[in-house]
Amino acid sequence: MSDQPASKVAVVGENPRHIAIIMDGNGRWAQKRMMPRIMGHHAGVKAVRSIVEYCAKEKIEVLSLFAFSSENWRRPKDEVSLLMELFVSTLQTQVDKLDKNNIRLRIIGDKSAFHEKLQDKIRSAEQQTAHNSGLTLVVAANYGGRWDITQALQKIAAGVKNGDIDEQAISEQLINEHLTTADLPEPDLFIRTGGEERVSNFLLWQLAYTELFFTDVLWPDFDQNMMQKAIDSFKGRQRRFGHTGEQIIDKRIL
């Protein structure tokens, strides 16, 4: 077993390079206020803007946000279509701002399920911001961790079939290289708001050694102070990657 993942990640006391967030609790936030659930999603977009701004300011390299899971299609039709509309309008109004702030936007997930027009908008937003060198903002839309692993295996199988990939060369690294996050560092810190303590099919492969942070705060109430709390909690942790604590302290293995 190599030390490879350890050498790619942030060390104790440093900011996480990659933060992944399940933004949960929008619906309950609205329901508590006797408002329709979609109002919670609108309030959630405001929270996204504030957290993106914060991560850019703090020089976080990658922020991954779970916006719509492959299972969220199971919601009532009305909520799904309002969420799609919100996705389109947010994309439209925010891309120039992201671009101006040197932020690179990436959408991961099975985009083929989206309307052709939305797919075009996604492509042009990604192209417009592709050369930016600040924060990489990854939005997971119609994303599932199992889907990501499945599509990676499909590509690898095709490569084996046409002779581009030697069966013996299939390794963790090769699988990693075929995931939608291939060029990104692994998430250092995972945050889930809204009180549930589960991964809900987010970045399954990528989260293998990620530090987890759960909070009852509903996503629309998650502010920059809360984000700083999560980062501070991360900074105080010792990541061992299978080593002993003494090895980490004595030899500064990471």
176 catalytic? Reply is: no
Question: Is the CB of residue 136 less than 8 Å from the CB of residue 55?
Answer: no
Q: Residue 20: what residue type? A: A
How many CA atoms within 13 Å lie on the side-chain side of 21?
30
Question: What are the backbone dihedrals phi and psi of residue 105, each rounded to the nearest 5 degrees, phi first?
Answer: -100, 135
Distance of CA 26 to CAs 147, 203, 218, 253, Å?
24, 21, 7, 41
Q: Report the alpha-carbon distance of residue 122 to residue 98 in Å, rounded.
A: 14
Residue 254 CB, nearest approach to ligand IPE (Å):
30
* Residues 17-36 contacting Mg ion, CB under 5 A: 24
DSSP 8-state code for residue 74:
G
Residue 156 CB, nearest approach to ligand IPE (Å):
27
Question: How many residues line the site for Mg ion (CB under 5 A)?
Answer: 1
Closer to Mg ion by CB, 11 or 82: give it: 82
Question: Is the CB of residue 217 less than 8 Å from the CB of residue 24?
Answer: no
Closer to Mg ion by CB, 109 or 194: give it: 194
- Convert residues 10-39 into a mask of x (bound to ligand IPE by CB under 6 A) and - (unbound): ------------xxxxxxx-----------
Under the phi-then-psi rule, with left for phi > 0, alpha for psi from -120 to 50, and beta for the rest, what region is 193?
beta
Residue 94 CB, nearest approach to ligand IPE (Å):
17
78 catalytic? Reply is: no
Shortest Cβ contact with ligand IPE: which residue? 27
79: exposed, middle or buried (C-beta count within 10 Å: 0-12, 13-18, 19+)?
middle
Indicate which single residue of 5, 53, 72, 159 sits in contact with ligand IPE (rule: CB under 6 A).
72
Closer to ligand IPE by CB, 83 or 135: give it: 83
Q: Residue 170: what residue type? A: I
Residue 85's binding partner out of Mg ion, ligand IPE, none, with CB under 5 to 8 Å set by partner kind: none
Q: Is residue 187 within the footprint of ligand IPE (CB under 6 A)?
A: no
Residue 200 CB, nearest approach to ligand IPE (Å):
4
Indicate which single residue of 194, 206, 234, 254 sits in contact with ligand IPE (rule: CB under 6 A).
194
Closer to ligand IPE by CB, 200 or 247: give it: 200
Terminal CA-CA length for the chain: 15
Q: Report the alpha-carbon distance of residue 205 to residue 186 in Å, rounded.
A: 9
Per the structure block, which two tokens stand in for 102?
């040197």
Q: Contact positions toward ligand IPE, by CB under 6 A?
A: 22-28, 66-69, 72, 83, 194, 196, 198, 200
- Any idea which residues carry the catalytic annotation? 24, 72
